[in-house]
Amino acid sequence: MTSVKDRDCIHLGLDVHKNTISVGVLEPDAEIPRTDKISSDWDAVKHLLARFEDRSRLRACYEAGPTGYELARQLRASGVACEVIAPSLIPTAPGDKVKTDRRDCARLARLHRAGELVAIRVPTVAEEAVRDLCRARADMIIDQTRARHRLGKFLLRHGRVWAGGYNWTQRHEVWIRSQRFDDPALTTTFNHYLATLQTREAAVASIEADLVAWFTKPPFADPVARLSAYRGITRLGALTLASEVCDWRRFPSAGTFMGFCGLVPSEYSSGEHVRRGHITHAGNLHLRTQLVESAWAYKSRASVGPVIARRQAGLDPAVIARAWTAQRRLTGRFRRLEARKSSRNVVVTAVARELAGFVWAEMTA
């Protein structure tokens, strides 16, 4: 039942852009919000708040997006309750084909009052800073991969094919640096590609060195130590998972966390027909990428090598036992699925989904 306090709230739906904010103001007894447009700078927002005598009655919300969380932090510091909304979970009418800023802010205000919106957790400034550093590393790894592909395709176009095993091993890199071309233009092109790759590799090494300091700093020290006890999750991978999630207990179940990662299968079922398809991909890309990368480690039989043993040194025996249970389960799962499925990517995705469940269970134990 709605309390008196809830009935007296004024709901603000904010459609936030780089230079402007469209505001939908829904008064307690109104059905249609009144709309306005203001500048996105904080002075304009303060002028908006000054229109209301009691800020404790205000309930603001806006969609998560490129403008980040600064507005939410400023509103909360000013005594205004503010939620940041998950855009992919906002209800939309199938027949509604008109989208404007005014309609969007009014719709946010109405849905917020109705309790139909799903809020996301706003990280602290420190948590967001480390998360951004982890994401910067991921971007640099993408740049490094692109530089490798460009160099590899250049060599392939000119008949230089590596036949000595896996690419980008130490032997492969020695072979690349030994390549010589008779044409001066080809030599110049090769040198540019090689210099670009070396720059990208140096950038990745530099940012990884910067991240090492955060392995043992709060609030990430405990999650990094526990998560890195699991096979396939390095300390860098553990820091990525910890900085992306922060508060693991906001997920009431392992299935909810799997859905947040976008690792659950899509479903189109009606009546007696049940149809499940590819994974939704409707979740946190950085978590999903890390979990899939970690899942490849389970293609080999269960064992505890020297690297994992070093990461597990000094940990609670219960953590080590849970990591071993997960390893036995997931290596067996990988082997059984690989015997049935024609695509290894499908197998790895299924293992990554179960790994998500294990890490959630570890961090909520």
| Residue after which a domain boundary falls, among 178, 194, 213 | 213
Does 346 share its domain with 226? Answer: yes
Based on the fold, state whether residues 207 and 330 are members of the same structural domain. Answer: no
My answer on whether 345 and 233 are in the same domain is yes
pTM equals 0.89
pLDDT of 3 above 50 = no
Question: What SS3 class is residue 81?
Answer: strand
Number of CB atoms found within 10 A of residue 136's CB? 14
Q: Residue 26, Cβ neighbours under 10 Å: how many?
A: 23
The whole domain housing 270 covers: 218-363
Mean pLDDT (the chain, rounded): 94
Strand residues in the chain grouped as ranges (E): 10-16, 20-26, 34-39, 58-63, 81-85, 119-120, 265-267, 276-279
Q: How far apart are CA 162 and CA 211, in angstroms?
A: 34
Are 12 and 27 members of one domain?
yes
Residue 183 confidence class, pLDDT cut points 50, 70, 90? very high
23-73 tens-digit pLDDT: 999 999 999 999 999 999 999 999 999 999 999 999 999 999 999 999 999
Task: Give residue 1's pLDDT.
Answer: 34
The total number of structural domains that make up the chain: 3
Same domain, 330 and 260: yes
Q: Note whether 133 and 237 are same-domain residues.
A: no
Looking at the DSSP assignment, which residues form a beta bridge with residue 25?
12, 34
**Domain shared by 239 and 178, yes or no:** no
More confident residue, 266 or 192: 192
- 74 in Cβ contact with 45 (< 8 Å): yes
Of 62, 95, 120, the one marking the end of a domain is: 120
Closest by Cα among 219, 225, 211 to 127: 219
What stretch of H or E contains 157? Answer: helix 125-157
State mean pLDDT over 321-332: 98
Q: Which CB contacts under 8 angstroms, 24+ apart, belong to 36-39?
A: 37/101, 37/102
Residues 65-93, mean pLDDT to the nearest whole number: 94
CATH number at residue 59: 3.30.420.10
In three-state secondary structure terms, 14 is: strand
pLDDT of residue 201: 98
Mean pLDDT computed over 274-289: 84
Do 39 and 90 lie in one domain? The reply is yes
pLDDT at position 270, please? 67
Same domain, 229 and 342: yes
Same domain for 358 and 222: yes
What percent of the chain lies above the pLDDT cut of 70? 97
Same domain flag for 247 and 348? yes
Which of 192, 213, 234 is at the close of a domain? 213
Assess whether pLDDT exceeds 70 at residue 2: no
* 173/312 Cα distance (integer angstroms): 32
Tokens of 114: 């109705």
Q: Please give the average per-residue pLDDT across 110-117, as a whole number.
A: 96
- Average pLDDT of the segment spanning 345-349: 95
| Distant-in-sequence contacts of 258-261, Cβ < 8 A, 24+ apart | 258/353, 258/356, 258/357, 258/360, 259/283, 260/284, 260/287, 261/287, 261/288, 261/291, 261/353, 261/356
pLDDT of residue 160: 96
* 290 and 259 in a common domain: yes
